[in-house]
C-alpha cells in the first residue's frame, strides 16, 4: 500500500539514546527501554530480548518513531517505537553512522 508524502511527513522520527534497559515484568521476550529524546525521556516496550543483551543496547543511538499513540503492552504503557528489521530470524535495530544528539529529527 502506497502512502502519500503528506502522510509520511506526519511521522516524527528522531534520534534516541538508550539510557536504561530492564526486563518486562510480565513477558519473557520483552524489554522496558528508557530512551533519551533530548527534551524528555520515554519508556518503550520492545520485543528484542531474544536478539540483544541489555549491555548491547545501553548507550546506543537508535531511530525512534515518537508520535505513535501510546499502547499498553502486557500491562506496561509504551510511548513510541524503536525501529528494527527482522529477516531470516535476525533482528537489526536501526542505528546511525554518526553520533548525533538525542532528539535530532530524522527525515
The CA distances from residue 51 to 1, 18, 26, 42, in Å, are 29, 16, 18, 22
Burial of 69 (C-beta count, 10 Å sphere; 0-12/13-18/19+): exposed
Question: In angstroms, rounded to a whole number, what is the distance separating the alpha carbons of residues 44 and 77?
Answer: 7
pTM above 0.85, yes or no: yes
Domains (range + CATH), the chain: 5-106 (2.40.50.140)
55: left (phi over 0), alpha (psi -120 to 50) or beta: alpha
Question: In angstroms, rounded to a whole number, what is the distance separating the alpha carbons of residues 100 and 96?
Answer: 8
**What are the pLDDT digits (tens) for 27-70?**
999 999 999 999 999 999 999 999 999 999 999 999 999 999 99
Amino acid at each position: 500500500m502506497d502512502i502519500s508524502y503528506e502522510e509520511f511527513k506526519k511521522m516524527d522520527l528522531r534520534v534516541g539514546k538508550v539510557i536504561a534497559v530492564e526486563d518486562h515484568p510480565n513477558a519473557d521476550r520483552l524489554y522496558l527501554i528508557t530512551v533519551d529524546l533530548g527534551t524528555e525521556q520515554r519508556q518503550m516496550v520492545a520485543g528484542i530480548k531474544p536478539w540483544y543483551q541489555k549491555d548491547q543496547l545501553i548507550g546506543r543511538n537508535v531511530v525512534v518513531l515518537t508520535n505513535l499513540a501510546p499502547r499498553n503492552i502486557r500491562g506496561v504503557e509504551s510511548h513510541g517505537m524503536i525501529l528494527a528489521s527482522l529477516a531470516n530470524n535476525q533482528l537489526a535495530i536501526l542505528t546511525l553512522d554518526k553520533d548525533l544528539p538525542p532528539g535530532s529529527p530524522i527525515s
